[in-house]
């Protein structure tokens, strides 16, 4: 790797920062996950069913109250810029399944070359110099941009016991804002209308968005003097992933894949889980591309890009097989389809929806297809990341009659 070697941060924190919701950890780990386990022996199955009866149908989460919490800083030694980590990347931290990370992340918007001097760019839009994130300035000055992607990525984190064939669950427990601003950008050759916008042949049209944390809004200021518009904030991490097995998949931070990465699904905020097939020993988890708010499609090119500090819990699931990333919220499953062709991404998302409803609820796939045509929304995650995304939102309450008595 071209990043500095040998630095390892392992700083346990006595408790998670105030404001982190712990409700989710008591409602995760339910039997649905264990129904996905492929029990290969009748004795094993009998044991599992006995445990099911003992605990009343609810398995505890693999995480325990004694799991460590670590703070990971976005220092130059802990980030890369423009590419993903590789199978031979040195981890900055080793954790156990069930441990938690309070992980600083840095937005790339504002430090890219086409935005000029970062301080001038931000202060020219009304941001106080004292509010500019020092990490952004330090990374711009000290970190080499080694790939074609724009993203600054924090990691990688080695999860003990994670092996290819396992699944890493990434729970997002909390997200804190680091600065009172974000940035939206449109660039020629990119976005949903490449070559049409920005207007007049300009290479970039970019706007700084002040963040009003008290009212939970981003303030959008029209260029022609119209009244300000408010954008409701819903922060999430656009990029969460494990290291891909093929180093060629890691040369650019932009396209998502089986390994996750830049999936840009706005439902993956606080209280969500993202499940990813482990590709290399230790999984080597990383995150970046923090967003304050995004519309489905992300049509200009970016969301409100803003530096955030998410809190993650990392859980290794043994014997759980996945052929695509899967998302989960308290209320819904998220069936992810990824492909350079949007039609193919749609097909993959529908097939994943059929698999989920069949394996989780027992619905036959022909029935699930008919049911989905009447009741399931398939949404465009983004069309701007080379590999496009469709996600089907599968409300759990619709299938409640199929789980009663289990």
Instruction: Check if CATH label 3.10.28.20 holds for domain 331-406.
Output: yes
* pLDDT greater than 80 at residue 14: no
Write the DSSP symbol of residue 348.
H
Per-chain mean pLDDT for the chain? 87
| pLDDT value, residue 397 | 97
| pLDDT value, residue 67 | 83
| pLDDT value, residue 320 | 87
Residue intervals in the chain for CATH 2.60.120.580: 12-23+63-166+173-321
144-162 CB burial, b ≥16 within 10 A, e <16: ebebebbbbbbbbbbbeeb
What is the rounded average pLDDT of the residues 187-214? 94
* pLDDT greater than 70 at residue 5: no
pLDDT tens digit sequence for 318-361 = 988 899 999 999 999 999 999 999 999 999 999 999 999 999 99
Environment class of 374 (CB within 10 Å of its CB; exposed 0-12, middle 13-18, buried 19+): exposed
Structure confidence at residue 13 as a pLDDT band (50, 70, 90): very low
Q: What is the DSSP string of 53-99?
A: HHTTT-PPPS--TT--EEEE---GGGEEESS---TTPPPSEEE-TT-
CA–CA distance, 183 with 292 (Å, rounded to integer): 10
* pLDDT greater than 80 at residue 36: no
Among 20, 211, 3, 217, residue whose Cα is nearest residue 89:
3
Environment class of 356 (CB within 10 Å of its CB; exposed 0-12, middle 13-18, buried 19+): buried
| pLDDT value, residue 289 | 98
Top-level class of domain 12-23+63-166+173-321: mainly beta
Q: How many CB atoms lie within 10 A of CB 319?
A: 13
Residue intervals in the chain for CATH 3.10.28.20: 331-406
pLDDT tens digit sequence for 229-271 = 999 999 999 999 999 999 999 999 999 999 999 999 999 999 9
Q: What is the DSSP string of 185-210?
A: EEETT-SSSBTTBSGGG-SEEEEEEE
What is the rounded average pLDDT of the residues 152-156? 98
Strand partners, 114: none
| pLDDT value, residue 404 | 79
8 A C-beta contact, residue 104 and residue 18: no
Lookup: tokens for 26: 């008591």
Write the DSSP symbol of residue 162.
-
CA–CA distance, 341 with 288 (Å, rounded to integer): 25
What is the rounded average pLDDT of the residues 377-404? 96
* pLDDT greater than 80 at residue 405: no
Three-state SS at 151: coil
Q: How many CB atoms lie within 10 A of CB 313?
A: 26
8 A C-beta contact, residue 260 and residue 272: no
pLDDT tens digit sequence for 49-92 = 333 232 332 223 333 335 899 999 999 999 999 999 999 999 99
- Spell out where 280-343 has E strands: 285-293, 304-305, 308-317, 326-328, 332-339
> Phi/psi class of residue 49: alpha, beta or left (left: φ > 0; alpha: ψ in -120 to 50)?
alpha
């Amino acid at each position: 790797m071209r990043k500095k070697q040998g630095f390892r941060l392992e700083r346990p924190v006595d408790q998670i920062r105030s404001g982190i919701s712990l409700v989710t950890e008591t409602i995760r780990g339910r039997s649905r996950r264990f129904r996905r386990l492929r029990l290969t022996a009748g004795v094993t199955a009998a044991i599992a069913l006995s445990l099911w009866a003992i605990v009343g149908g609810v398995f505890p989460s693999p995480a325990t109250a004694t799991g460590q919490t670590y703070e990971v800083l976005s220092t130059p030694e802990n980030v890369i810029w423009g590419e993903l980590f590789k199978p031979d990347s040195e981890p900055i931290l080793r954790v156990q399944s069930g441990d938690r990370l309070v992980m600083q992340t840095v937005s790339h918007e504002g430090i890219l070359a086409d935005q000029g001097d970062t301080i001038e760019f931000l202060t020219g839009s009304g941001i106080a110099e004292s509010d500019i994130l020092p990490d952004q300035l330090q990374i711009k000055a000290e970190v080499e941009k080694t790939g074609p992607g724009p993203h600054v990525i924090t990691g990688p984190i080695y999860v003990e016991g994670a092996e290819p064939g396992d699944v890493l669950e990434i729970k997002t427990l909390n997200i804190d804002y680091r600065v009172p601003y974000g940035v939206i950008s449109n660039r020629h050759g990119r976005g949903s209308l490449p070559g049409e916008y920005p207007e007049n042949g300009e290479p970039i049209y970019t706007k700084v968005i002040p963040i009003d944390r008290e009212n939970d809004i981003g303030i959008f200021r029209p260029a022609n003097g119209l009244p300000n518009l408010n954008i409701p904030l819903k922060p999430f991490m656009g990029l969460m992933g494990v290291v891909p097995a093929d180093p060629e998949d890691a040369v650019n931070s932009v396209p998502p894949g089986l390994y996750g990465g830049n999936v840009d699904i706005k439902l993956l905020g606080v209280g969500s889980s993202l499940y990813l097939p482990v590709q290399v020993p230790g999984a080597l988890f990383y995150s970046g591309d923090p967003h304050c708010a995004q519309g489905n499609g992300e049509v200009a090119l970016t969301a409100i890009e803003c530096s955030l500090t998410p809190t993650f819990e990392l859980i290794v699931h043994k014997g759980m097989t996945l052929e695509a990333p899967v998302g989960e919220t308290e209320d819904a499953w998220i069936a992810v389809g990824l492909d350079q062709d949007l039609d193919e991404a749609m097909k993959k998302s529908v097939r994943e929806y059929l698999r989920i409803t069949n394996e989780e609820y027992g619905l036959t796939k022909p029935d699930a297809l008919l049911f989905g045509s009447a009741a399931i929304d398939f949404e465009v995650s983004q069309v701007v990341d080379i590999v496009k995304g469709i996600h089907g939102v599968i409300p759990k309450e619709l299938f409640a009659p199929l789980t009663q008595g289990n």
